Chains A and B, each alone.
Chain A
């Protein structure tokens, strides 16, 4: 069991609370203050807390081989710019935004930034399903992955950051460089699009 395996190690789960992220915010604020005060242990704490998710996020933009480098570069930036950290802002969102910007910088060659923003967020959530595997065609999870993959890039990014990475509206907005209102619109549209696909696929699926 994945869960058990995780518990066997030193772990740091920071955003598992179903009740919301305010305690997590406190933790990140405390880390931000300590990083600003050049406390390397706080950098380690936040690094370990978000490293995995940030690498996953980076692979949405850059090849897997570069994702780790991008995340490392982002933390070098955070550390070197630590005196300018504002603890009242979300350091988590700042880390996501830095990874995003560095990823886009890295693949900028030739293309304009806007073109990248429009089309680049596209790495698959999982390996593409085998078209010959009939069972997979009936698997809701596979369907959901496909449908998320079909969403416009920014809707999909907002949805994944919000639903799977546990960022708040404000943090997603900060990470993506848009307003919380825009994030809200992206999310609503993304969820509605998936809902429509679900209804077409299996009308009773969402009834509770």
Chain B
């Protein structure tokens, strides 16, 4: 199936008297959809050759204009980009052959621009404490549900000039959140420590906890619509559709989308749990963050064992841990701060 193919019958043709027949022909042409060519390897080689011809540096990263480090270092690539974009917007008028502009006038203009950029840059943040979920409505009307021990930050510039189409919306996520995005004509991006998610569709879940980033990375699952996922610091990009998910390991060179059950995406919102092929160590960390207790693995337990599980509703941490222990042939015991699997 050619990925550029257009299954959608052009609306312009709907006015034709024989539109239904034309539509049938349009569909029938599916049969000869040409294979995409050349191969991705050929595209890589072609890009290398073009890059050298143009004298561009090799370090360019797709969809990652500036490399944003881990959440903890406080620098935020997405926001750098946002502020630059905001300041750029008045650009055309600045470059236009302006009338008699004294230098003081220019200085004032620069000052006003700076002021706007600074005001935009003041961050707004929402945090869901451990053991609680939180619903946030963003200034553009998008709904976000934050899972336990998760936080979301964005700049005020997020909602600036609401109907300007190039207004880029960027939010920074630490933890897990489910997004229901409105106003798709404006770009919406979720930036995390290891991945950047560009929204082309509407409803999706992002799991990006610093505590489990190294072992299980960032996980993105789509309930509805489409998103682009880019890896921080790597050229890897994948487009996911409804019913697909992907795990983004730090610096991953490739992304491998996998099918997921759309109905199970974001099960945590109603108190459930969806675990898709996660290392056991990451699963116990997640449970600990959900229930606000410390769950540890005994030294004898292999934390890299893969676990998959789905609970529409978690009754309590003891019962989940009991299930996992039974499945993995382990036992559970209480500790001073929580639980241990051994």
- Report which A residues bind B (CB closer than 8 A): 2-3, 6-20, 22-24, 26-27, 29-30, 33-34, 37, 39-41, 43-45, 47-48, 51-53, 55-56, 68, 71-72, 75-76, 79, 87, 125-126, 140-141, 144-145, 148, 162-169, 180, 184, 187-188, 191-192, 194-195, 198, 205-208
Contacts and interface: CB of A to CB of B under 8 A. Distances in A.
Interface stretch (B46-54, B119-127, B149-157, B303-311): B46-54
By size class, the interface of chain B is 35 or more
Given A29-B166, A48-B62, A164 B33 contact: yes
Given A15-B4, A34-B65, A148-B32, A10 B237 contact: yes
A67 to B, nearest CB: 9
A193 to B, nearest CB: 9
What does DSSP make chain A's interface, helix, strand, loop or mixed? helix
Given A12-B228, A72-B49, A141 B31 contact: yes
Given A30-B187, A33-B166, A44-B51, A198 B3 contact: no
Given A11-B40, A13-B239, A44-B235, A76 B34 contact: no
Which of B4, B38, B63, B186 has its CB near the most chain A CB atoms (within 10 A)? B4
Interface of B: 1-8, 10, 12-13, 16, 18, 21-22, 24-26, 28-29, 31-38, 40, 42-43, 46-47, 49-51, 53-54, 56-57, 60-65, 88, 165-166, 168, 184-187, 198, 200-201, 226, 228, 235-239, 241, 253-257
7 contacts: A29-B166, A40-B54, A41-B63, A126-B32, A163-B26, A180-B12, A195-B25
Contact of A56 (B37, B54, B62): B37
Given A125-B32, A145-B32, A39 B12 contact: no
A191 B3 contact: no
A189 B255 CA distance: 42
Contact of B3 (A13, A44, A55, A72): A13
